[in-house]
Chain A
Amino acid sequence: MADVDIEALGLLDGLEGEAREERAQLIAWLLERGFSIDHIRASVAAPLMLPAYRVLGDDGELVSAREVCESTGVELELLQRLQRAVGLPCIEDPDAAVLLRADGEAAARAKIFLEMGIAPDDAVAVMRVVIESLGHAAAIMREAALKTILRPGATEIELAEGSEQLALQATPMLGPMMDDLLRMVLRHSFEMEAVNAAERAAGTLPGARPVTVAFADLAGFTRLGEALPAEELEHVASRLAELAHDVAFTPVRFVKSIGDAVMLVSFDSAPLLAAMLDLADAATANGLPRLRIGLASGCAVTRAGDWFGSPVNIASRVTGAARPGTLLVAESTRDAVANAGGFDWSPAGTRRLKGVSGEVKLFRVTRGDPPSR
């Protein structure tokens, strides 16, 4: 303690009173536990998480990009692109030892795609999707874990110890869990997606297919955002996403939530329409603002779990045209659902939708008599 001047190193800058004292205690404790001053300094934002991060693989060992290339066999240029894809800062000098070894090696994992004969561009694209989607999972895991250790008045050392304990408990299980869950989702992705004869003959992937797309939008969300604290706004949006997940089961797929809206898609239009009516009911039952729901059908392509094509854009515009508390469908969906039972249809006029040439015929749908058996 005596030979390290915590204060002179700027580790207490901006802290005063009790916070300053606590931080000094935390740093002394970290030094005792074998963390180097450099390691502590590199984590200005959250030194109290260091013990947990060490368990999760951050041992403070810094290497240069070139060293990672040599140990993993990935070329420098690709490694730099992968670094960016993984959300790590750009490495200007490939010989500067500024890269956490664990991070560099994780990025280089993408090598398995190259070995399969996949183009570097595609490998980088896959890593981006992996990072973006697992980033959300990591964020919610971190939030939930924090909640379990936080209690009023906890000191920094207590929090550091608590999070380290949690990380120790979780770390042996993370691997098997990720492996099992990934295999599960891979299995289900096989089920959803056959490769048809024409596609095989052409040697291309499944291309655009007819699907129905639905959006449900919380009416008045921007206004709500001006009136409610951000936390409450988040609750409202999360609740909608939860309810949407609950109504989405095969063949209906939950695609994503987009702030105040959710997007669902299905190859089969009638189950999606039924799910959206269920969602409207669930929103009412749970005290959410009224939903505006819109559907459209047509050809779209899927990429990395998202969908692109005219029905996506039109469904979004139809949603914008729906009154709060109502469900509107474009004529394309009216045709796709055809005579499936259980729905009541009423014409809602023809509308010009922004970006769509000509007019689109719209129908309002409510729950009808149950289908006859």
Chain B
Amino acid sequence: MAVYVGAVAENVDIEGLLDGLEGQARAERAELVEWLLGRGFSLEQMRSEVSPMLLPAGRIVGNDGQYVSARQICDETGIDLELLQAIQRALGMPRADDPDAVILLRSDSEAAARAKIFIDMGLNREQVIAVSRVLGHGLAQTAEAMRQVVLEAVIQPGATELQLAQAYEGLVQQVSPLLGPLCEDVLRIQLRHTLETEAMSVAERAAGTVPGARNVSVAFADLVGFTRLGEAVPPEELENLASRLSNLAHDLVSPPVRFIKTIGDAVMLVSTDPVALLRTVLELLAGAEKYHDFPQLRIGLAAGCAVSRAGDWFGSPVNVASRVTGVARPDTVLVSESVREAVGEADGFSWSFAGSRRLKGVKGEVKLFRARAADED
């Protein structure tokens, strides 16, 4: 192999691509470069990549090294320049200040121009940009999750760069045609499942406005001592704990309770039905207690008017629930008076008054109640 690499290096100047590499790593990179050249990648392409190893896989998903200017894309697709640039920004693509500079990957620009579908549907510019932003962010997270499991599937101890490049290319080739349809199906599910919480009221339809604030209950469940833990254990372990909390919550949640998001060391749940939500968080608490080596949870609930936007919720009960969670003792579920009243005398819970507290940013005192499952001793 060494002889062969030496021969290539004489013909083509690959030295620049081997800078800073020595011994085995240098030989491996030279072997990779040789293989990539044979597959039609230019030295220039290799130089511009953070990881030349991923070039073949990148080519399969559309990185063909063809560049265009923003103006070219506008001419071809009929989108105006200002909107195209705004969409590119919203999708997190590299920005080009000069519309005539040929520096945008053609496939990237064409993907951005797909947002034209929303204009054709009658959305205004602000809406198109907002949708692009959320869609781009959501897909980036999706791609990140997929990329990690795919990498995990190909990576083997001691694999050379060439072996990895080949394995990765093979896998991406096999899988990439299926990922688009998967995302499409998932998007369709989500478009179909308007929850009862988002159904429009007669009054809203009469007024011609989109669904506004709803009366909902909001819960946060927080891992106790997460910051302190973060100083003591490696980041991987921290991630593992947060994932377990998220998994546990996902497993317990079913309509009318909705899993909204994970926020580092916490999960957020929302429901129009306070009883169902309280039941779910009590199960969550019991589930976490069963885990070995798992931090305690503190859980807080509040109810009130909140508005849903792009799958997240905003309004006083969200903020208050977060503050209530902050004052809950480890291993307890604390609810604001608003939730206590909404749950009323529903079966299955036992209550104790936990005093009135001043919560930061909330006027006056908030009466708090501790909830337990009724069969608890």
B176 at the interface (CB under 8 A from A): yes
B188 near A106 with CB under 8 A, answer: yes
In the bound complex, how far is the Cα of B28 from the Cα of A85, in angstroms?
41
Contact stretch, chosen from A179-187, A340-348, A364-372 = A179-187
Do B176 and A183 touch across chains, with their CB atoms under 8 A apart? yes
Nearest Cβ on chain A to B122's Cβ, whole angstroms: 4
CB distance from A43 to the nearest CB of B (A): 9
Let me know if A37 is at the binding interface, CB within 8 A.
Answer: no
- The answer to whether B238 touches A245, judged by C-beta atoms less than 8 angstroms apart, is no
Residue with the highest number of chain A CB atoms closer than 10 Å, among B174, B181, B187, B359: B187
Contact B186 A134 (CB under 8 A): yes
Q: Is the CB of B235 within 8 A of A309?
A: yes
CA distance A25 to B253 in the complex (A): 36
Prevailing SS type, chain A contact patch: helix
Q: Are A189 and B147 in contact (CB under 8 A)?
A: yes
A35 interface residue per 8 A CB criterion: no
Which B174-197 residues have a C-beta within 8 angstroms of A? Answer: 174-176, 178-196
Q: CB of B171 within 8 A of chain A?
A: yes
Most chain B CB inside 10 Å of its own CB: which residue of A58, A90, A136, A176: A136
B319 touches A222 (CB 8 A): yes
Q: How far is the CB of B318 from chain A (nearest CB, A)?
A: 6
Task: Decide if B131 touches A140 in the complex (CB within 8 Å).
Answer: yes
- Whether, in the assembled complex, A147 has its beta carbon less than 8 Å from a beta carbon of chain B, the answer is yes
- Are A313 and B230 closer than 8 Å at their CB atoms? yes
B18 interface residue per 8 A CB criterion: no
Smallest CB gap from A23: residue in B:
B202
B161 touches A200 (CB 8 A): yes
Give, as a whole number of angstroms, the nearest-CB distance from B251 to chain A: 6
Kindly list chain B residues whose C-beta atoms are within 8 Å of the C-beta of A349: none
Indicate if B37 sits at the interface (CB-CB under 8 A): no
Shortest C-beta distance, A200 to chain B (Å), equals 6
* One of B47-55, B280-288, B343-351 contacting the partner: B47-55
Looking at A58, A127, A145, A254, which has the most chain B CB atoms within 10 Å of its CB?
A145
Determine if B15 is an interface residue (Cβ-Cβ < 8 Å): no
Q: In the complex, what distance in Å separates the CA atom of A130 from the CA atom of B107?
A: 23
Q: Which residue of A lies closest to B252 (CB)?
A: A84
Asked if A56 lies at the interface with its beta carbon under 8 angstroms from chain B, I say yes
**Docked-complex contact A90 and B254, CB < 8 angstroms:** yes
Contact partner, A140, options B130, B153, B323, Cβ 8 Å: B130
Pair A203/B190 contact, Cβ less than 8 Å: no
**Given A109-B182, A208-B236, A308 and B159 contact (CB-CB distance below 8 Å):** no
Bound: A65/B207 CA distance, A: 42
Judged by a CB distance under 8 angstroms, whether B315 is at the interface is: yes
Residue of B nearest to A304 (CB): B145
In the complex, besides A53-B192, A142-B194, A180-B111, 14 extra interface pairs with C-beta distance below 8 angstroms are A86-B186, A133-B139, A138-B190, A140-B311, A150-B205, A170-B121, A183-B180, A201-B157, A203-B155, A222-B320, A231-B307, A248-B92, A249-B92, A303-B243
A interface with B by C-beta (< 8 Å): 15, 19, 44-46, 49, 53, 56-58, 84-87, 89-90, 102-103, 105-106, 109-110, 112-113, 116-118, 122-123, 125-148, 150-154, 156, 159, 166, 169-170, 173-195, 197, 199-205, 207-208, 220-226, 229-231, 233-234, 237-238, 241-242, 245-246, 248-250, 253-254, 256-260, 299-306, 308-310, 312-314, 316-317, 353-357
